Amino acid sequence: MTKPIFPLLLVAVALISACAGAGYQSVPRPLGSVPDDLCRVYVAREDTVARSLRNVRVFDGDQEIGLIEEDEFLCWDRKPARGVGRLLFEGLGSKQSQVENAFDLPREPGSTSYFAIRISQGEHEPEIARVSEEAGRALMDARSPAPMH
């Protein structure tokens, strides 16, 4: 008598699904134009290599903005002051450790800045780069906003 394989498949699918986290945005997503007293920030993953990194957690200073998957972006408004953004890559880097990157956040009131997360070709490590408005809009148009948390 053969044992049914269907229950084993269900368990395997459940385990795989549990490993893939759902993206989210934990701060309000702005609507409309950028207020004169704030600056707007967009962050998206540029690379869509299947599961190259599981998730990317984004911070504005110590405040968590959210977590994005491959086809998502985050958007938030911030005060126009000196600040550092941080990215925590939950997938493993080539050195078998979690990778964290920092980047300067915009300080110009009324401005909009776009950032793309990439995998460097040489080191195969994640990095973040500010991109032009044209490239940033195209990247956001190809992505969906992370769901509100």
CATH assignment of 23-145, among 2.40.50, 3.40.50, 2.60.40, 2.60.120: 2.60.40
pLDDT at 90: 74
Helices (H), the chain: 6-19, 133-141
Which residues are CB-neighbours of 80 under 8 A, at least 6 positions away? 37, 38, 39, 106, 107, 108, 109, 111
Domain boundary assignment for the chain: 23-145
What are the helix and strand counts (H, E) for the chain?
2, 10
pLDDT at 52: 56
Q: What percent of the chain has pLDDT over 90?
A: 55
* pTM metric for this prediction: 0.79
